[in-house]
Structure 1
Amino acid sequence: MTQRTDVVVIGGGQAGLAAGYHLRRLGIDHVILDAWTAPGGAWQHTWNSLCLFSPAQHSSLPGRLMPVQEGELYPDAAHVVAYLADYEKRYELPVQRGVWVDAVRRDGTHRQVDSDAGDWRARAVIGATGTWTRPFIPAVPGRREFAGRQLHMVQYRSPSEFAGQRVIVVGGGNSGAQIAADLAHAGAGLTWVTRRRPRYLADDIDGRALFDAATARRRALDEGRADWRCPPEAAAKRQVALCHQSDARSGVLGRGSGTGAVRLAVKSAWACSTASGYASRLVCSVRAR
């Protein structure tokens, strides 16, 4: 039997929970369908060293501050999972777990949502699935002939399994950079391939600084002032943050690696970082001779 509601939210990670929070506040009947059997979204399946890029107070969902993780400026994945589970419980969000949505179809002025746990008819559907369960693997010429191990970043867990091997990390986004650093510090012979020359940020530029800059800009626009991209007091820092420091920083990334430094193959044709974000990163390895 088809169930009815006003809104179906597909996905129970941070985006789906935030949507549910606002729908609940507005008194709109809704259901959140999530494929995972436990709360936490993709954070419960990430690699071991992954952490937030901003302090807890800048990483909260609407309505509830994320608590600080004791001894850590940037909370790790386990802390994020615990926060999301508590958030879901605190606001009594109507999450149905272990539900896989097969299709969304038009049904007159409504939408029909087909799932393996039954069908729903709703006035609106919010897609909050993320990309973790549908990783994009680019069609790189020669990939099928490559005899070494190939894996997507969603399969990466720890650099220990690559010790003593030569590894190519493809992609210049956050995930590609963090996995490259992870491998370099663990002693893998690393080559990092990016589409464009990497732009290295100063150590004190994190999500907090970017959040403050975006907030200041938004406030200026709301007050009718000129559109400036960065607060004046951060202008000098921004010049430093956006400059290319590959020579100095490559040595840092490469400390302990088999090659002694990260090689930035920025002009390689095999640069397949795509608009799908961190879910497009590909890690390939070949055993050392």
Structure 2
Amino acid sequence: MTTTAIVIGAGQSGIAAAFALRDNGFRPLVLEAGSDTAGSWPHYYDSLRLFTPAHFNALPGRPFPGDPDRYPTRDEVAAYLRTCAADLGDAVRTGHGVTSVVRDGSGYRLRTVDGAEFVAPVVVSATGSFANPHRPHIPGLARYTGRVMHAADYRTPAQLAGQRVVVVGSGNSAVQIAVELAAVADVILACRTPIRYASTEPIPARSRFWSLLASAARLPVGPLFGTGTIPVIDTDGYRNALRAGRPEVRDMPTAAAGTVLCWPDDRRDHVDTVVLATGYRPALPHLRAVITLDRNGFPRHRHGLSSTHPGLAFVGLEYQHTILSATLHGVGRDSRHVARRLARRYR
């Protein structure tokens, strides 16, 4: 007998989960809130490229098209995911945003925004985190009255051309956005901790580094890393740009007065806009009736399987199983791990 499994979300995590569940004997049904099956990718900033080459980012059994050694653009990733989702056929239903999940006997009852209900013994939440930007409390910005935006709202340098901008963060997106903006704006990259790089030199697409990273990404050590920042993968000369002061790198501001920020070395600068490239937290409002989240906004789980609710699983959480769990590379591997574990229980 084939067991139905409902996947919430049709982005990279949901698509990967559906294929893995199908391969392990389940009959997956994917419920997607929007009208697209490319997840959050169409909503990222225009110039976004993957920090890893195409060959590193294929879902299992579904090669990424084109030159395997290029760094795919945002739109190329979106198109790839749409093609993968099309292979799932009518198992994917768009326009079905899940508003609540509750226990129903030995399974779960899901209600969607249009009032429809679905029942299944297995639910995989794969809603990602783009809908839940992380805006941490930053004491040095408490009295700042200028514009504060999250990287989720950043699209193109033209938005901030000619301004004095502070980008807050030390990860890949913070560095990429700051370097890009520095061509059209006066930019400071403010970091709570020093920027860490994944290698000592820029990494070419054809490099042994990628096979080493793939090997490391097989290890189930993700939970040991908590919510730390992934080191910057320098594929486009970011390190050299920062060394040249384009943009300038500083510690976090210590205080603010109106639109003036104060720095640890007593410098003071008028700043038009602050961009928070401070990451995201899981978007799980649909699960509020069945689980509680920890202080960082994460559910209790063990390598993607809920620690408190049998039959409930996750794909796409940061560090849920490996160091790359929240990436396009990682969700394929994690999905297979979760699906195999679920299959042992329900087949």
In structure 2, give the amino acid aligned to 1:43: W
CA contact (8 A) 1:194 1:264 kept: yes
What is the aligned partner in structure 1 of residue 72 from structure 2?
75
Are 1:94 and 2:91 counterparts? yes
- How far has the Cα of 1:276 moved from its partner? 3.9
What is the aligned partner in structure 1 of residue 149 from structure 2?
151
- Shift of the 207–120 alpha-carbon distance from structure 1 to 2, 3 Å rule, reads farther
- Give 1:14's match in structure 2, choosing from 5, 12, 23: 12
In structure 1, give the amino acid aligned to 2:251: V
Q: Deviations over 1:230-284 (max 9, x none)?
A: xxxxxxxxxxx99xx9995524461xxxxxxx2222354589876747999xxxx
Q: Which moved more, 1:100-109 or 1:202-211?
A: 202-211
In structure 1, give the amino acid aligned to 2:202: D
State the identity %: 33
Are 1:55 and 2:53 counterparts? yes
- Give 1:33's match in structure 2, choosing from 31, 34, 40: 31
Q: Matches of residues 135-146 of structure 1 in structure 2 within 5 Å?
A: 135-141=133-139, 143=141, 145-146=143-144
In structure 2, give the amino acid aligned to 1:88: A
Q: TM-score when scaled to structure 2? A: 0.62
Matched residue count: 245
What is the aligned partner in structure 1 of residue 251 from structure 2?
266
Gaps of 5+ in 1: 222-240, 255-261, 281-289
Gaps of 5+ in 2: 220-232, 256-274, 284-295, 297-347
In structure 1, give the amino acid aligned to 2:169: G
CA contact (8 A) 1:173 1:277 kept: no
In structure 2, give the amino acid aligned to 1:198: I
CA contact (8 A) 1:191 1:263 kept: yes
Q: Deviations over 1:43-97 (max 9, x none)?
A: 1111110011122111101121001259x82111111111111111124261111
- How far has the Cα of 1:218 moved from its partner? 7.6
Tell me how large the CA RMSD over aligned residues is.
3.4
Q: Deviations over 1:149-204 (max 9, x none)?
A: 221111100111211110011111111111111111x2211111112111234211
In structure 2, give the amino acid aligned to 1:263: E
More helix by share: 1
CA distance, structure 1, for counterparts of residue 129 and residue 206 of structure 2: 21
- Give 2:126's match in structure 1, choosing from 128, 131, 152: 128
- Shift of the 30–165 alpha-carbon distance from structure 1 to 2, 3 Å rule, reads same
CA contact (8 A) 1:38 1:97 kept: yes
- How far has the Cα of 1:217 moved from its partner? 5.2
Q: Deviations over 1:101-120 (max 9, x none)?
A: 11221222211222113121
- Shift of the 119–277 alpha-carbon distance from structure 1 to 2, 3 Å rule, reads closer
Q: Matches of residues 72-221 of structure 1 in structure 2 within 5 Å?
A: 73-92=70-89, 94-117=91-114, 118-141=116-139, 143=141, 145-184=143-182, 186-200=183-197, 201=199, 202-204=201-203, 210-216=209-215
CA contact (8 A) 2:134 2:281 kept: no
CA distance, structure 1, for counterparts of residue 146 and residue 63 of structure 2: 45
CA distance, structure 2, for counterparts of residue 47 and residue 266 of structure 1: 25
Q: TM-score when scaled to structure 1? A: 0.73
- Shift of the 206–136 alpha-carbon distance from structure 1 to 2, 3 Å rule, reads farther
Q: Which has the higher contact order (CA 8 A, sep 6+)?
A: 2
CA distance, structure 2, for counterparts of residue 159 and residue 267 of structure 1: 22
**Match of 1:41, SS?**
coil
CA contact (8 A) 1:50 1:76 kept: yes
